Structure 1
Amino acid sequence: MPILMKPRSVPLLMAAALIAGACAAVPSGPSVVALPGSQKTLDQFLGDDHNCRQFAQGRIGGASSQGASNAAASSPAAGAGNVSDSGYGAQDQYDAAYIQCMYASGHRVPVYGQMLAAPPVTPPANYKPNSPPPAPPGAAH
């Protein structure tokens, strides 16, 4: 026998689902890809990655960032206020701190921004095409 719900129960159930879904989960790691710097070994990269994950976790109020590298501690992110006040979600805050730390450690990180198209190339003033332009429609041949 199917269970019937009262009509007013549906909006309450939907509201409860929205409230439960609004609770932010603590990020388990970065959602961006960082690549080793050209002068870095894989072991250096892995060590810096570990330190930067700790640093990012500390920036969002998680584990302590005491293990972060000195390069990360001297980064602009370290001198900034608590990033949780910036209005970003926890994952965005984590990613921003991780990217700043990895960049400060000498690694390659994603860069966001708009791609600008080059302006259209105009021919020189003395340009003359090899063939005459087409005749306008309706003109006699």
Structure 2
Amino acid sequence: MKPTQKFMSLLVLLALGGCATLPTGPSVRVLPTPGKSFEAFMSEDAVCRQWASQLLGQDPQETADRNTATGAVVGTALGAGVGAALGAASGHAGTGAAIGGGTGLLFGTASGASSGQLYGMEAQRRYDNTYVQCMYSKGNQVPGTMRRVRTRNVAPPPPDMYPVPPDYYPAR
């Protein structure tokens, strides 16, 4: 495989990896209480989604995208600077800057995407908590936590010590 083919396949993998998105709404299931009309439930759902979005300030996916872009810009700038400095030592500052910028873009984007995913998941968790609180306050059924029952681990008692029967003779 030629170096350009390796680079292009790596670039395609990174591009496809960037297609993963966070949910655009709550990632928890809330059910209407028995007897509540579906229209009333949908109205409450819309109000709670709006309230959670307003309280959070921005979409979790926007947070992830912003961190990815920031990582790409910072990585490109740092890579170009380091590449130019190393290239100047060998008399090829322009080539060093280009290689460093490309490498910085690649690793900066990867680092920013990783950071963005973490911040996006945290924003999604806060959105879900706010949404669940709102839906619960309106009387809907929300997922609960299961109480973990702890059992004591008790060792079994030692076996009884029976003497060897009197008619036992080992085989010789």
Q: TM-score range by the shorter chain?
A: 0.3 to 0.5
Could you say which structure has the higher helix fraction?
2
With normalisation by structure 1, the TM-score equals 0.47
